[in-house]
Chains A and B, each alone.
Chain A
Amino acid sequence: MVLEASIKSTDLSIGYEYDYGILWVVNSVNIVVWRNTTYCIIGESGCGKSTLGNALAGLLPTYAYTNGYLEIEGRTVVRGDETNYNGVRGRIVTRIPQDPSSALNPYATIGEQLVKVIEHHYGVRENALEKARELLKLVKLPLEVIDYYPHELSGGMKQRAAIALALAPMPKVIVADEPTSNLDAYLRGVVASLLKRVQRELNLTLVFITHDIALTSVICDYIAVMYAGTIVEEGVSSKVLHNPLHPYTQLLFKAIPKLGYRETLSTIPGSPPSPTSYPEGCRFRPRCPVGFSECYKAPKLIEVKPQHKVSCWRYA
């Protein structure tokens, strides 16, 4: 299979204005997401994952500043400070939201919502209902859900309905922004594998944003680890998961309990820096246990092993 780029970003930065200038929440991100793969973005809260996800889905607020270049399915959506998502939202990218109970329109039935989206994009009134039924079947929801209002569904069903809704415009890319964070442990696995199955069956590109590292091993082809607005490690998921290179990734993985092991769980001392006071050089330096003098200069994301990039001076 020839790999084709679905999402390509070059030095993409996203920022917000604050009292003393622009606060860059996402900093010079270079990523390539291949078509028909699942790309995971993991990291702690507040490191820019969701902002990056919103940029991919075209949901940046109007007051956001952008810089760099972002291309989705051959369409340039961000170039410098100009953004143009016309015709990209829906047809090409949709987003699966964090909280499905607030993402479904509370005033309309699931069927009405699906039909509205299908009609808008494809204008086939008689087939729209048929299409809505197919979507429900795809996400394994019983067909009578079509006449239900969101508040009549359980949390897991709402999440499935939200996935069906995101699939309704038949997009090529789906951005799932922590789709499992509000579900219990069992449903988390179910929803994640559902997304994976849908991605395979419909040949989609799935960008999966999460802080649940256990899930990534199940569904991801590629993993990017974000820290303080930058990507510190990226690569094929098996390589990143089994042989993490960046000290941050190593510490992050040590903080996850593993079944059958009795090791003490470690925590990473300190907390991620706020965008107002990023440290000079490597942003992980103040918390890094293995930092040295070189770390006062900013490292670059470089490929140190095949399909495995890391931004750390210890591998440069």
Chain B
Amino acid sequence: MGITLNYVVRRIVLSIAIILGISIITYVFIYLAPGDPAYVWAGRPRGPLASEAIARARVELGLDQPIYVQFFLHVLRFFSGNWGLSIRFKQSVFSLVMRNFASTLELLLVSFAISIPIGLFLGIHSSLYRGSKIDAAINSLSIVLSNTPRFWIGLAMLLAFTSLNIPTYGRISDNFRGELVERVGLYLVDSLLQGRLDIFLDVLIRIIPPALALSLYPIGAIARVTRISLSEALQEEFVREAVSLGLPRNTVVYGYALRGLIPSLMQAIGLFFSYSLIDAMAVEYVFGREGLGNLLVKAIPASDFPLVTAALIIVAIVYVVTNTIADIVQALINPRVTM
């Protein structure tokens, strides 16, 4: 067992390939999409000098060059750490993306802290009682959960909480915004580091409704993946052998059958995590939270290609990281795997 240099190199090459691929696709789509970045960059000018201003913006952005040159320069700059300026916000893309990513990450972490235990619980029990009414009920529930539109549930929750006078709009109360010292970027952690329980509670109350709305899909999806893979694992010969040896039910289910599934479940959860990042767009927008999703919603209509590419690359990096973690766990658990 162990992680070889070969594995590390392979992972890095794979990540670069994914980032390149994403850059190409976003670049091409933004290029093909209606809307003119130069127009936005020039400040949406009107009047007699407008066309001149737009032409100047086009040269400034390098949009007058052929698309392959543009793309090449874009990628070159990206990998040298210069992510450029956002066309819409005229701020550094890097700091914009990082600040908003922290907010999204916080939301997703809370949402997965809710959905992983519930999803696993539902999946395990539906698999243990497969064919029974419990199984049918859990199955229907998970189908309904994973197919409920998140923006709609989000809206309904926002309305419900607001009518109960519970503040859920925004990431933090305006009163606290100036008082919080940002260190990690995750407000839940920052407020605790500062020792301010009142800020912590305010942030927590505001994060739970969107996190709940976001967790519906992963709950259903995790339950279904767990059900299928555990049902298969329970049929395995070594699991039946453990039953024959008289080991207690919990040992057999958790120690034998579920243990081998951890890597593949982690991989699946990583996939749902990356997917939820996109899902968060709608939910963040509804709840008026800053975040990657909200950022993308604003960036795409402005043809803000540096920002869109950077935000999507963050999604790709999260995907690669979760997959790498799943691989490492696989190597730790399964003695037959070396990387």
Which residues of chain A have a CB within 8 Å of any CB of chain B?
57-59, 63, 87-91, 93-95, 97-99, 102-107, 116-117, 120-121, 149, 151, 162, 165-166, 168-169
Size category of the B interface is 20 to 34
Does chain A have a CB within 8 A of B240? yes
Q: Please tell me if the beta carbons of A102 and B237 are within 8 angstroms of each other in the complex.
A: yes
Which residues of chain B are near A162, meaning CB under 8 Å?
241
Q: Is B137 an interface residue (CB 8 A)?
A: no
Specify which of B240, B247, B260 is in contact with A106 (CB 8 Å cutoff): B260
**Minimum distance in angstroms from B99 CB to a CB of chain A:** 42
A76 CB to nearest chain B CB (Å): 18
Interface residue ranges, B against A (CB under 8 Å): 131, 236-238, 240-248, 251, 255-256, 259-260, 333-336
Task: Give the interface centre of B238, B244, B336 by most chain A CB atoms within 10 Å.
Answer: B244
Question: How many pairs of residues, A versus B, come closer than 8 Å at their CB atoms?
Answer: 75
Residues in A whose Cβ lies below 8 Å from that of B248: 120
Q: What residues of chain A lie closer than 8 Å to B241, measured between beta carbons? A: 95, 97, 103-104, 162, 165
Whether B245 contacts A107 by the Cβ 8 Å rule is no
Q: Contact between B256 and A105 (Cβ–Cβ < 8 Å)?
A: yes
3 smallest beta-carbon distances between A and B, as pairs: A90-B246, A102-B237, A89-B246
Instruction: Give the residues in chain A near B336, CB-CB below 8 Å.
Output: 106, 149, 151
Q: In the complex, what's the smallest C-beta–C-beta distance from B35 to chain A, in angstroms? A: 54
Q: Are B245 and A165 in contact (CB under 8 A)?
A: yes
Chain B residues whose CB sits within 8 angstroms of the CB of A94 once the complex forms: 244-246
A106-B334, A107-B260, A120-B251 known; A90+B237 contact, CB < 8 A: no
Which single member of A63, A98, A106, A166 contacts B245 (CB below 8 Å)? A166
- Bound complex: CA A168 to CA B237 (Å): 18
Given contacts A102-B238, A116-B247, 13 further A-B contacts (CB under 8 A): A59-B243, A63-B131, A87-B246, A89-B246, A91-B246, A94-B244, A94-B246, A103-B238, A105-B242, A107-B333, A116-B251, A162-B241, A166-B244
CB distance B237 to A99 under 8 Å? yes
Q: What is the bound-complex CA distance between A211 and B248, given in angstroms?
A: 33
> Closest chain B residue to A152 by CB distance?
B335
The interface centre, meaning the residue of A89, A91, A168 with most chain B CB atoms within 10 A of its CB, is: A89
Interface hub of B243, B246, B247, B334 (most chain A Cβ within 10 A): B246
CA A106 to CA B242, docked complex, whole Å: 12
Complex CA gap A102/B336 in Å reads 14
From B237, B243, B246, B256, contact of A121 by CB (8 A): B246
Q: Could you write out 7 A-B pairs with CB less than 8 Å apart?
A: A59-B240, A102-B237, A105-B238, A107-B334, A116-B247, A116-B251, A166-B245
**Contact residues in A for B333 (Cβ distance below 8 Å):** 107
Q: Are B246 and A103 in contact (CB under 8 A)?
A: no
- Among A57, A106, A149, max chain B CB count under 10 A is at A106
In the complex, which residue of chain A has the Cβ closest to the Cβ of B241?
Answer: A103
Considering the complex, give the chain A residue whose CB is closest to the CB of B132: A62
Find chain B residues with CB under 8 A from A91 CB: 246
Chain A neighbourhood of B260, CB < 8 A = 106-107
Q: Could you tell me the distance between the alpha carbons of A144 and B94 in the complex, rounded to whole angstroms?
A: 56
Tell me how far the C-beta of B112 lies from the nearest C-beta in chain A, rounded to whole angstroms. 25
Question: B238 to A120, Cβ gap below 8 A?
Answer: no
Considering the complex, give the chain B residue whose CB is closest to the CB of A101. B237
The answer for the CA separation of A58 and B252 in the assembled complex, in Å, is 15
B residues less than 8 Å from A120 (CB atoms)? 246-248, 251
Contact B237–A97 (Cβ < 8 Å): yes
- Tell me how far the C-beta of A308 lies from the nearest C-beta in chain B, rounded to whole angstroms: 32
* Interface hub of B237, B238, B240, B251 (most chain A Cβ within 10 A): B238
Shortest C-beta distance, A164 to chain B (Å), equals 11
Could you tell me if A95 and B244 are in contact, using CB atoms closer than 8 angstroms? Answer: yes
- Cα distance A80–B239 when bound, in Å? 27
Using Cβ atoms and an 8 Å threshold, which residues of chain A touch B245? 89-90, 94, 117, 165-166, 168-169
Give B256's nearest chain A residue, CB to CB: A105
- With A and B bound together, what is the CA distance between A240 and B262 in angstroms? 51
- Closest residue on chain A to residue B244 by CB atoms: A95
**Chain A residue with the shortest CB-CB distance to B242:** A105
Q: CB distance B238 to A89 under 8 Å?
A: no
Q: B256: shortest Cβ distance to chain A, in Å? A: 6
Q: A103-B238, A106-B238 are in contact. Are A58 and B247 (CB under 8 A)?
A: no
Complex alpha-carbon distance, A99 and B240, angstroms: 12
How far is B329's CA from A107's CA once the two chains are assembled, in angstroms? Answer: 13
Q: Which residue of A lies closest to B262 (CB)?
A: A107
Q: Which residues of B sit under 8 angstroms from A58, Cβ to Cβ?
A: 243-244
Establish whether residues A57 and B335, one from each chain, have CB atoms under 8 Å apart when the complex forms: no
A117 & B259 in contact (Cβ 8 Å cutoff):
no
Which chain B residues border A151 with CB–CB below 8 Å? 335-336
Is A102 within 8 A of B243, CB to CB?
Answer: no
**Chain B residues closer than 8 Å to A116, beta-carbon distance:** 247, 251, 255
Cβ-defined contact, B240 with A104, below 8 A: no
Contact across chains for B244 and A57 when beta carbons are under 8 A apart: yes
